[in-house]
Amino acid sequence: MNVPAVFDSRDAHCKKPYGALPCGKEWSLTCRPLSQEGFTHCSVILRREFAGHEMEAEMPFSGFQEDRACFSLSLLPFSSPELVWYWFRFWRDDGTGCFLDKTGYRSQGDPIPWQLTVYEERPTPAWFGEGVTYQIFPDRYCRLSLPDPSGLIGGRWVHENWEDVPAWRPEDGEIKNRDFFGGSLEGVAAHLDDLAALGVESLYFCPIFESASNHRYNTADYRKIDPLLGTEEDFRSLCAQAREKGIRVILDGVFNHTGSQSVYFNADGFYPTLGAAQSRESPYYDWFHFSEWPWAYESWWGISTLPNVREDCPDYVDYIIEGRDSVVKHWLRAGASGWRLDVADELPDGFIEKLRSAVEETDPDALVLGEVWEDASNKISYSQRRRYLLGRELHGVMNYPFRTALLAYLLGGGGESFREAMETLRENYPPAAFFSALNFLGTHDTPRVLTILGGRPLPEGREAQSAFRLTPGERETARVRLRLAAAVLFTFPGSPMIYYGDEAGMEGAADPFNRGTYPWGREDRELLEWFSRLGTLRKGRASLRRGDLRWLEAEGPLLSYVRELPGESTLTLVNAGGGERSFSLPEADYRDLLTGEPVPGGQVPAPPHSVRLLGIG
């Protein structure tokens, strides 16, 4: 039988309110089995995960609807954040019956329950989810002059040729990541007008603090801007100039580990002060997990250059979060508007909660974003169910499920799969978290989106990937697909993020080939213009910034939805297939938002590999 007809958690006839539930709000459930099934009783089983409690409540018979018997129950509010799992039990007067879970009726086995996220309502910065974000890998965006790396930590060297391929060959069996190109904060400041023309309202920087590597995820000094990037004054100036243009700055906080060459660990003795690897009397010794000092210690994924820190160490928490001039507070006061937490899965819930409190204490309108690759509402990390989105930790997360589902659709998957993946998030996430998700097509941790959309699998091994380029035919196919991908990215709820250079047509396989230099003077002008038009549209239409989402069609190559507010609607119509199709729209006065032409309702043609953006109001 059709299980959603019995219970559909997304149908207001079965569950109210839709999706996640705020603490203190009542909710109701209705089940509608076929009358011919003969069920006379129904109950709901509720398992509260964090409370460790399970209960069963009978749902009274509430009448018939045509050929269905209805059982309904209003439930009392939850007083605290919780993750609730629920399923149903049906039985007849003779004692026979069954369970109902997400898979259908069943008589044995463990249930596959529905999820209810119960969250604490707290303010979320509105500015982030509404506007466009631009991610910059600082070393590779723009340099104004060739810097001198001598005397800096890490034995660095700088490419003279901006267009070189990033170094990838191991040195002494290890990838050193010590080749630099010399991008700087002043280089970013010089292009703020270009970023504003893209509609950008927030800049997300990969780490900018002193570090021995070009990616700077092995922090050497949290209190110092890397000298190749500039100074603290350069940072303050950049933030101030950006704010004048309506652009905020988000920093990357790498607080799970430091670098082995850092001032805190100081494995090679670069810094004149005592690090934890040099002396047990070091003020930083208690920050780290030594099993045999100084040689054996916990490190991120076993990488010796990334020693893990003890996030429960009071001195570390004070240094990063709670001190009067802690790292988190200092850089917010210097002009930053938020923090993106690297590897949030490896940061304890208590640490994240303290960090958010410190952020809100310093700037109530600042953002805390987390790197989470899966559904953040039910993520299990190190055998612990996480509480990221329950109200006291993250405002939002990086939306990797969006990228995965969208690229799968554009590479031949069905629109229904994309809709299901996004509806799962919308149902599980608190609304503010769903609308504050960071949506993207690629990041510094993924191959370039244009390379993926070419459709050819990446070769194995770094040497093969270093030479991998799309053929002219593959590149044109990828460009067409990227136009569709960007249209969905810019019109979907959440902040659309551009990974630097994607808008210019950059290619690149896995790290480090996805981290090439921005192609100044060699941009794909047509793609750049497309992204700019979409950015302008996003910035100018209130329905795209904060409108509700309603699906119109999602089947096979067709995908359409509307973002709507009272008085304004924006429709996105995508045909990702190679055949001529059409969309059936209600009669209304539509306008093509890219050409300005009126579009009548009814059957709207959808040429192969095309997107239409239509507006009402």
Tokens of 194: 């270009």
Q: Is residue 611 helix, strand or coil?
A: strand
Tokens of 428: 């599980």
Q: Is residue 327 helix, strand or coil?
A: helix
Query: Going along 306-393, which residue ranges are E strands?
Result: 338-341, 367-370, 380-381, 384-385
For 174-193, letters b (16+ CB in 10 Å) and e give eebbbbbbbbbbbbbbeebe
Which of 51, 48, 8 has its CA nearest to residue 29? Answer: 8
Using a 10 angstrom Cβ sphere, with 0-12 exposed, 13-18 middle and 19 or more buried, the burial of residue 100 is buried
Q: How far apart are the first and last CA of the chain?
A: 42
* Rounded distance between C-alpha atoms, residue 442 and residue 385, angstroms: 27
Answer yes or no: 371 catalytic.
yes
Show Cβ contacts of residue 163 under 8 Å, excluding neighbours closer than 6 positions: 517, 519
Question: Which residue type does 48 have?
Answer: R
Write the DSSP string, 409-457: HHTT--HHHHHHHHHHHHHHS-HHHHHT-EEES--TTS--HHHHHT-PP
For 29-41, letters b (16+ CB in 10 Å) and e give bbbbbeeebebee
- The H-or-E segment that residue 584 falls in is strand 581-585
Which of 441, 474, 473, 472 has its CA nearest to residue 456? Answer: 474
Distances (CA, A) of 373 to 397, 433, 458: 9, 15, 21
Tokens of 440: 């993207």
Phi, psi of 580 (to 5 degrees): -70, 130
* 3-state SS, one letter per residue, for 120-141: CCCCCCHHHHHCEEEEECHHHC
* Rounded distance between C-alpha atoms, residue 61 and residue 397, angstroms: 41
**Catalytic pick from 82, 130, 201, 342?**
342
**Catalytic pick from 201, 371, 393, 511?**
371
Give residue 231's Cα distance to chain centre. 29
Answer yes or no: 163 catalytic.
no
**DSSP letter at 35?**
G
Tokens of 146: 């060739």
Q: Is residue 11 helix, strand or coil?
A: coil
Phi, psi of 172 (to 5 degrees): 55, 40
Q: Parallel, antiparallel, or unpaired for β 396-399 and 438-440?
A: parallel
- Which of the residues are catalytic? 342, 371
